């Protein structure tokens, strides 16, 4: 059976170009506006009914990290070792109730996500997605799965959010270090004051004798 097709949903209104200018407005176009190739919005993608697919059960997939803190620690170690961490996700589109539907994986009772995961160092996005799709959704009988990857799109917003989370974690760590340093300095000041008081009391005792 042919594997489900993957596609990314993206586009611009059909009457506008990638630059945001209406297509029918051609004033100054040739002189000031760079000509760009329009997106292939009219390209057809074959969608198949959900009933065309068979579903089975596999062993549950466990998260790599036991907590959010453990996840960030692993990300820091991987960044020091291999550099920027890359991930890829697949969008499976089927036809149901006369509408396209995106299939999601359910984790627990309240969390849903696209199938995918982290790429190996130096791994190509398309080949990595095929590998992950086979690991997550592949057949148990070992039959080869021919995944058809239609388009790939980079999610810059998600990368920015991850970078912001990492920066927040680093800032929190720096704040904790600063608080510890301040507490240590406060303890040292108290210890010095205590020593000065003891020396003063000793001198006062000698003067009385």
Position 204 in a domain:
no
Position 169 in a domain:
no
Position 160 in a domain:
no
Give me the half-sphere count of Cα atoms (radius 13 Å) on the Cβ side of residue 146: 2
Q: How many domains does the chain have?
A: 1
Rounded Cα gap, residues 124 and 88, in angstroms: 10
DSSP 14: T
pTM given for the model = 0.49
Q: Cβ of 19: how many Cβ atoms within 10 Å?
A: 11
* Domain range enclosing 39: 5-154
- What is the token pair recorded at 111? 């969390």
Position 27 in a domain:
yes
Position 193 in a domain:
no
Residue 137's CATH number? 3.90.79.10
Phi, psi of 144 (to 5 degrees): -65, 135
Position 28 in a domain:
yes
Local structure of 96: helix, strand or coil: strand
Position 21 in a domain:
yes
Residue 37's pLDDT is 53
pLDDT in tens, 136-195: 888 777 777 788 887 777 665 555 556 666 677 777 777 777 888 888 888 888 887 777
| CB proximity list for 103: less than 8 A, separation 6 or greater | 4, 92, 93, 94
Residue 41's pLDDT is 61
pLDDT in tens, 13-33: 444 444 444 444 444 445 444
Position 174 in a domain:
no
């Amino acid at each position: 059976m042919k594997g489900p097709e993957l596609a990314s949903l993206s586009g611009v209104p059909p009457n506008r170009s990638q630059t945001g200018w209406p297509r029918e407005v051609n004033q100054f176009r040739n002189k000031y506006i760079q000509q760009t190739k329009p997106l292939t919005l009219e390209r057809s993608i074959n969608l198949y009914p959900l009933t065309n697919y068979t579903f089975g059960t596999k062993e549950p997939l466990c998260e790599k990290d036991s907590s959010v803190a453990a996840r960030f620690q692993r990300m820091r170690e991987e960044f020091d070792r291999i550099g920027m961490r890359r991930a890829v996700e697949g969008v499976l589109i089927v036809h149901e109730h006369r509408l396209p539907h995106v299939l999601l994986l359910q984790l627990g009772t309240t969390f849903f996500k696209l199938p995918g995961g982290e790429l190996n160092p130096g791994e190509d996005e398309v080949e990595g997605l095929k590998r992950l799709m086979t690991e997550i959704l592949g057949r148990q009988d070992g039959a080869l799965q021919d995944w058809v990857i239609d388009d790939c799109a980079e999610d810059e917003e998600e990368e920015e959010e991850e970078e912001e989370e990492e920066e927040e974690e680093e800032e929190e760590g720096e704040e904790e270090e600063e608080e510890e340093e301040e507490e240590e300095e406060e303890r040292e000041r108290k210890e010095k004051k205590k020593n000065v008081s003891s020396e003063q009391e000793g001198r006062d005792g000698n003067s009385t004798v």
